[in-house]
Amino acid sequence: MKVRIPKNWDPLGDSFVLTKADIEQQVSNDLGRFHSEYGQKFGVAPSEILDVETFVSVLWGFAVVYEEIEQVAGEETLGTLRPETQNVVVDSRCIHHGRLSFTIAHEVGHLSLHGPLFRRENNKIIGELFHALQKGLPDSRALRKLFLLIEY
């Protein structure tokens, strides 16, 4: 997926919207890549029913871990992404299978759709850019790296 970002884009003040078609195209690309990488790794095609934990592991090298996530009043957080440990964390109190699958897929969507906010180092995904922008910190080092990753 290619996203056009204007040269005067301010990542702390502006935003851009991905269309449903953009997201569906990225999902399709990721699924195609998953089928290919799974076949190369295991010598067989993956199951027709997608196991999201296997998807996360094969495609991104992340593990899914279950632990209690601290909740903030008025909000419900079922999952979070920890790129620095290569974990998708799911709240251990979430027990509905459909909700678990959706939560894991949602968190991995951040990796897929927000790739320019991460970097790879020694085959690990590092999230310093993501965390700096998520916290709204104008970390000039992180912003410089972000702009080096964006193709105009």
Domain boundaries, the chain: 21-113
Taking the CB of residue 6, how many other CB atoms lie within 10 A of it?
9
Two tokens, residue 122: 């020694």
**pLDDT computed for residue 149 by the predictor:** 43
Check: CB of residue 56 under 8 Å from CB of residue 88: yes
Check: CB of residue 92 under 8 Å from CB of residue 68: yes
Which residues is 82 bridged to in the sheet? Answer: 87
**pLDDT computed for residue 97 by the predictor:** 82
Using the predicted structure, report yes or no on whether residue 12 has a pLDDT greater than 70. Answer: no
Give residue-wise pLDDT tens across range 80-100.
888 778 899 999 998 888 889
Q: What percent of the chain has pLDDT over 70?
A: 64
- Region of residue 122 (phi > 0: left; psi between -120 and 50: alpha; otherwise: beta): left
Which of 56, 55, 18 lies closest to 35, judged by CA? 55
CATH architecture of the domain with residue range 21-113:
2-Layer Sandwich (3.30)
Q: What is the mean pLDDT of the chain?
A: 77
